[in-house]
Amino acid sequence: MIDTIAALSTAQGPGAIGILRVSGSLVLPISLAVLEKNGTPLTESFIQNQKRSAIFCDFVEKGKPLDQIVFLYFPAPNSYTGEDLAEFHLHGNPILLKRALHVLLEKGARPADKGEFTKRAYLNGKINLSGAEAISRLIEARSKYELELAQKNVFGEITKLSSKIRSDLISLKAECEAEIDFSTEDLTFESLEERKNRMVALKNLCSKLIKDSERAESFILQSTVVLYGEPNTGKSSLMNVLIGKDRSIISDVPGTTRDYIAEELSLDGIPIRLVDTAGIRDTNDTIERMGIERSKREADSANVKLFLIDTSLPFEKKTFIEKHKDRLLGSLIVANKIDTKHPSWQMESVQDFKEEFQLTISEISCKTKQGIPELLELLKSKLTSKDDTEDLVLLEDRQRYHIQKIESCLSEAIQLMENGAPAEIYIQEINVALQEIGQVNGTVENEEILGRIFSKFCVGK
């Protein structure tokens, strides 16, 4: 008998609907013990006749209706877990859901561990290990790019690629074994050059997969964008505009921001850590000076630096260069306060200065919001030069480890061939590579490894 597990499958907190999921041998008896329709307990034959159909009924607690619900029953093996599975769709009140879950546990279920439903789906052959990891990534995706990459894996991109690698390895092994076993027969085998070329092509495929995954990670890793410059250039105002709320204090008094302030936001699916820094200036104030030093360190480690300048002040090229030359290089220049722009900023010398230092200058007004959409587009292009994730695939750390091992095995096999080793020697590297590719999709039997993988899931999935 398979023990029966139960858990809340929807997010914690109030909502229109809350779903309790139950899987295991006692799904049907537990369901019969808690469900009624028009005051009459549901029967097994009624539920069996309504399998995979929605049943509108009452969830009962100690003989009294607790809630009007929608009940769904999925008999094994045609369910997510491959076991008998039921879903109880209640109104999404947390107190109500907690009471209903307690009733299910009283009737014979036990609380599910993290990821246990998906683990059972894997153990029952409903999904492979790559598919399970893709589901976890899909649920936890923090940006549209990560979601796109996870969706590709849910629909089998990793499985397809690893299946090709496995097929090619088997073909290589078969050719090597045929040569070993029938070397004295009058048979024709592929040349060593042809075999080597096949190995090189397969090694290159593994290398490309690893590199593509590294590129894909750049889509989903949080980027740091630092706003820096002299006091009163509008850094805090821009911070507030970009995050859509008053996070930084705005004042005409220099040195108002004495330490950096960080906020997280998403720019069209790109996760960003936006940092407002203390205005850079010479000061005798010890606390402010410490804040300026910390701000400089933040700017040095940023993915993108937005250097703000105040266009309401006169522009004089020589003075400006002497003052800001070291800060301009590698920065995106944000010319703020263009609604009160000084006439000197209209002169041709500004354009000459821009071309001389190959600067990108974005003109904005935090007050009128002029130029903000253009700045956001420019920032997005700075953070990612890629248009989309269509040609990329994202490997989990575990998957990348095994692909790297395969790449290493193939490199060793190629080296052995080039050194004149017989097939009996380098076939061992192919055998190891075959073991490694099996780990990618799911011949993992180590319970500790499986536990580590599925512990990343939320309870109820």
What's the rounded mean pLDDT across residues 55-78?
95
What per-residue confidence (pLDDT) applies to 364?
Answer: 93
What per-residue confidence (pLDDT) applies to 415?
Answer: 95
State the Cα–Cα distance between residues 417 and 407, nearest whole angstrom. Answer: 15
Q: Report the amino acid identity of residue 283.
A: T
What per-residue confidence (pLDDT) applies to 258?
Answer: 45
State the Cα–Cα distance between residues 150 and 154, nearest whole angstrom. Answer: 6
Residue 190 has pLDDT above 50, yes or no: yes
Per-residue pLDDT tens digits for 126-151: 988 888 888 888 887 777 778 888 88
Residue 157 has pLDDT above 60, yes or no: yes
Indicate the DSSP class of residue 345. Answer: G
Topology adopted by domain 5-127: Gyrase A; domain 2 (3.30.1360)
Q: Report the amino acid identity of residue 28.
A: L
Helix (H) or strand (E) holding 87: strand 85-92
232 band by pLDDT with thresholds 50, 70 and 90 = confident
Residue ranges at the known binding site for GTP: 232-237, 251-257, 276-279
Encode burial over 208-240: b for 16+ CB neighbours within 10 A, e otherwise: ebbebbeebeebbeebbbbbbbbbbbbbbbbbb
Residue 399: both structure tokens together: 């998957």
Indicate the DSSP class of residue 276. Answer: E
Of 229, 227, 221, 254, the residue nearest 239 (C-alpha): 227
99 band by pLDDT with thresholds 50, 70 and 90 = very high
How many of the other CB atoms lie within 10 Å of CB of 127? 23
Residue 345 has pLDDT above 80, yes or no: no
How many of the other CB atoms lie within 10 Å of CB of 273? 16
89 band by pLDDT with thresholds 50, 70 and 90 = very high
Helical spans, DSSP H, in 267-370: 286-300, 317-328, 348-356
Residue 378: both structure tokens together: 């420019």
Per-residue pLDDT tens digits for 291-308: 666 666 766 777 888 989
What per-residue confidence (pLDDT) applies to 77?
Answer: 93
Phi-psi map region of 108: left, alpha, beta (phi>0 left; psi -120 to 50 alpha): left
What per-residue confidence (pLDDT) applies to 214?
Answer: 86
What's the rounded mean pLDDT across residues 68-88?
95
What's the rounded mean pLDDT across residues 306-329?
79
What's the rounded mean pLDDT across residues 425-443?
87
Domain ranges of the chain: 5-127, 134-217+393-441, 226-364
Per-residue pLDDT tens digits for 1-52: 789 999 999 988 899 999 999 999 999 999 999 999 999 999 999 998 887 7
What's the rounded mean pLDDT across residues 229-241?
87
Residue 327 has pLDDT above 90, yes or no: no
What per-residue confidence (pLDDT) applies to 19?
Answer: 97
The CATH number of 226-364, from 3.40.50.300, 3.30.2130.10, 3.40.50.970, 3.40.50.720, is: 3.40.50.300
Residue 26: both structure tokens together: 């006692």
Question: Of the segments 110-114, 248-252, 271-275, which one has the largest average pLDDT value?
Answer: 110-114
Residue ranges at the known binding site: 21, 87, 126, 232-237, 251-257, 276-279, 461
Residue 441 has pLDDT above 90, yes or no: no
Length, in residues, of the chain: 461
Q: Report the amino acid identity of residue 168.
A: D
What's the rounded mean pLDDT across residues 88-97?
96
Per-residue pLDDT tens digits for 60-70: 999 899 999 99
In this structure, which long-range contacts are made by residues 7-13, counting pairs with CB atoms below 8 Å and at least 24 apart in sequence?
A: 7/101, 7/111, 7/112, 7/116, 7/117, 7/459, 7/460, 8/97, 8/101, 8/459, 8/460, 9/87, 9/117, 9/460, 9/461, 10/92, 10/460, 12/94, 13/94
Residue ranges at the known binding site for (6S)-5-formyl-5,6,7,8-tetrahydrofolate: 21, 87, 126, 461
pTM over 0.95: no
Give the range among 19-33, 82-96, 312-326, 417-431 with minimum mean pLDDT. 312-326
Half-sphere exposure of residue 416: CA atoms within 13 angstroms, side-chain side: 18
Per-residue pLDDT tens digits for 244-258: 865 544 444 444 444
What's the rounded mean pLDDT across residues 436-457?
65
Residue 404 has pLDDT above 80, yes or no: yes
Give the β-pairing of 361-363 and 331-336: parallel
The CATH number of 134-217+393-441, from 1.20.1740.10, 3.40.1390.10, 3.40.50.300, 1.20.120.430, is: 1.20.120.430
286 band by pLDDT with thresholds 50, 70 and 90 = low
